[in-house]
Structure 1
Amino acid sequence: MRAGRARAGRIFAVAAMLIGLMTAAASAQIKIGAIISITGPTAALGVGYKSAFAVLPSEIDGKSVSYIIRDDAADTSQSVTIAQRMIEEDHVDAIIGPTLTACDNAVQPIANAAKTPMIATAPLDYDPVKDPYTFSAVQPVSLMVNALVADMVKRGVKTVAYIGFADGFGDQVYDATKTAAAKAGIKLVANERYARTDTSAEAQVLKVMVKKPDAVMLGASGTPATLPDVALHRRGYKGLIMVSPAFLRVGGAAVNGTIAVTGPVVVYDQLPDSNASRAPATAFMKALIGKFGADAVSPFAGYSEDAFLLLQAAVPAALKTAQPGTEAFRVALRGALEKTHDLVGTHGVYSMSPTNHNGMDDRARVLVQAVDGHWKLLP
């Protein structure tokens, strides 16, 4: 009798342990890592990327979500260290970022080796077949540059000069400009570069102005993009100036007339009702402005939001296969991301496939012009 009771006790204990494990699995928390350059030379952009997380939901499909946000200071070595820590210690299910192209390139091999989906939030060239866990929430550089070059053609531009960052992003914009200009019959007459940390681009501007180009393409972003733009205006340049949009706060009236290509979210309140992104961009920006004020409007916040929306749409399918915190869940999450179809974000519409881990089209871009410290949507 005593042996029977003992055996029953052991069975009960095992059953209780199994129930405990099942309960723990059922309540497993989704962990999303975010690698953002909050300090360093791209800090002005990092503020936007980070702000989005303050208004993201705390649950996805009934599962609680934990956001682990870390600053890489725009340093690739720090990006790598953070990614390894997130994967090995925090056991994140996905990574949003990094927010700088060079840092994305550094983290990408680590994320793929660990089978951890990574949604880049800076322009990144990659092969989704070779790097199946890499995705992107950012418009391809060529998509954006093509819009600017098409506008140059309409305005009768015959020559264009280039001034851009001396880094991977600057290279991407230059290469896209060179290709698009050649196809459009526009002659590229200069290729000048400067560092994100430089305090002046006067030398580059002087070299460009000697060429007397009809237009100047600036391959830069954030506050540093104002350096050549303001210098061109100050020296009386009358041609077209085209640039990334995140620099008005510093440039102000000194950059009036500059044309930029950006995602719809930047001018969410000027979009026509027919624009697919109007509703999600408006809802997101109203939440952000309610939290941080009118200056919170930022294309970079929109990239963080869209990366989250992609994960939010993929999680329910992944949960049918496995629980968060496991490799099986990350593998399933990757598969679900790859099947994304017509997901409308603040920057455009995403449709992915095994050979396309971005899937954005012309709906992901609008042309805007600087007018007294504000962006005006162009037809």
Structure 2
Amino acid sequence: MKLNKLFTLTITTLACAHALADINVGVIASLTGPAAALGAETKKAVAMFPTTVGNEKINYILLDDGTDPTNAVKNVRKLISEDKVDAILGPNLVSTATAMADVANAEKTPMISVAPLDVAGDKRGYIFRSEPSADLMVQRIVNDMTENGAKTVGFIGFADSWGELLLKALTKATAGKLTIVATERYGRADPSVQAQILKVMAAKPDVVFVGASGTPAAMPQITLRERGYKGKIYQSHGVTSKDFLRVGGKSVEGALIPVGPVLVAEQLPDNHPAKKNAVAFVKDLEAKNGPDSRSTFAGASWDAWLLLQNAIVGAQKGKAKPGTPEFRTALRDGIEKTNKLVGTNGIYTMSATDHAGYDASAIVLIKVENNHWKLVK
């Protein structure tokens, strides 16, 4: 049975309510640069996207932002003005998503971010996301810290918008519960974090939270272990790719990470609402890319597509034609009306005041064990 048939969303052949026209979908990912490991996972998901929905062909235009917000803006402008896309999926980073969002909103083109972009107020408009918020994920690990008796935490994270987002989430989640005794930053391309780690260790935190993503997130944990730190180390949900395990090796053993369910699909209890879809997705993904090729980024990218696909089905019932402002508005409205859509990496219910709609109950805690992902709880 093909993957799409296993999902709760059923695509049926629709009566031709309007003249047939191709639907164009732009995808922006970090295929090169420091965040290339994340973009590679989005690319895997794109290769699995269906080429038709109902009776209309879907064209995908995948562009590389090079982990650069300036390039991301150029890409989104090209997709809208030259390729006449009906919607945009991606990108992988908060910094590039923030830069793109203003353009997508101004051009009234729906965008579903795979990065946990904070969409609120006037910026909500045409912007949605499939990735859970940093607040939800960090709250999950802070709960684990306190449950295990930690009183102090040290932070080392990226010196950019992602690091700042995670630090704010940590500050919010620890208020009245734990004391942040060290705050250090580093660049994604920095060759060493020795000085920062010495400062973190001097504060003698019970636990350490690495606020980073991708393969550069391994360096602080490697350095902490090399320097003899024995406490628990927590990573953000931005590290869950095979490349992180490869780069970190034995040093990242025991790392604790909050994730969406797709990464440990088969280990989920049978009553987890996303288990069926997550297992089906992982089976198809690994059949194409090899064992252990799963990642939350691929899952979030697939779920971004599911959100758009759901809206496409609704828009096809109307009179608006692909390539028109009316069709893009219909897609936007359809995404906003998403109700209890079960994906691979979570359950989504959007509204006019919530363009993320991620159900926190789907989040699980995992650890690295024997170079694999192991469900904790």
* TM-fit CA distance, 1:131: 2.8
RMSD: 1.4
Q: How does 1:187-202 map to 2 (within 5 A)?
A: 187-202=179-194
Q: Is the 8 A contact 2:258 2:365 kept in 1?
A: yes
1:35 and 2:32 equivalent? no
Partner of 1:102: 95
Scaled by the length of structure 2, the TM-score of the pair is: 0.92
Q: How does 1:226-245 map to 2 (within 5 A)?
A: 226-244=218-236, 245=239
Gaps of at least 5 residues in structure 2 are 1-15
1:361, 1:239 → 2: CA distance?
31
Partner of 2:4: none
Of residues 145, 148, 161 in structure 2, which corresponds to 1:168? 161
Partner of 1:352: 350
* TM-fit CA distance, 1:147: 0.4
**Which letter maps to 1:91?**
K
1:128, 1:292 → 2: CA distance?
40
Q: How does 1:87-236 map to 2 (within 5 A)?
A: 87-127=80-120, 129-183=122-176, 185-236=177-228
Q: Is the 8 A contact 1:241 1:257 kept in 2?
A: yes
Scaled by the length of structure 1, the TM-score of the pair is: 0.91
* TM-fit CA distance, 1:25: 5.7
**Which letter maps to 1:264?**
P
Of residues 285, 291, 310 in structure 2, which corresponds to 1:294? 291
Residue-by-residue CA offset, 1:63-83 (whole Å, 9 max, x unaligned): 111111000101111111110
2:265, 2:365 → 1: CA distance?
13
* TM-fit CA distance, 1:128: 5.1
Residue-by-residue CA offset, 1:101-151 (whole Å, 9 max, x unaligned): 111111101101111000011121221554310001110000000000000
Gaps of at least 5 residues in structure 1 are 1-22
Q: Is the 8 A contact 2:119 2:355 kept in 1?
A: no
Q: Is the 8 A contact 1:97 1:120 kept in 2?
A: yes
2:132, 2:254 → 1: CA distance?
24
Secondary structure at the aligned position of 1:147 is classed as helix
Q: Which structure shows the bigger proportion of residues in helix conformation? A: 1
**Which letter maps to 1:210?**
A
Q: Is the 8 A contact 2:92 2:114 kept in 1?
A: yes
1:148, 1:50 → 2: CA distance?
29
**Inter-CA distance 30–71: structure 2 relative to 1 (3 Å threshold):** same
Q: Is the 8 A contact 2:17 2:316 kept in 1?
A: no
Partner of 2:64: 71
Calculate percent identity across the aligned residue pairs: 48
2:77, 2:123 → 1: CA distance?
20
How many residue pairs end up in the alignment? 356
* TM-fit CA distance, 1:258: 1.3
Partner of 2:10: none
* TM-fit CA distance, 1:318: 1.3
**Which letter maps to 1:100?**
L
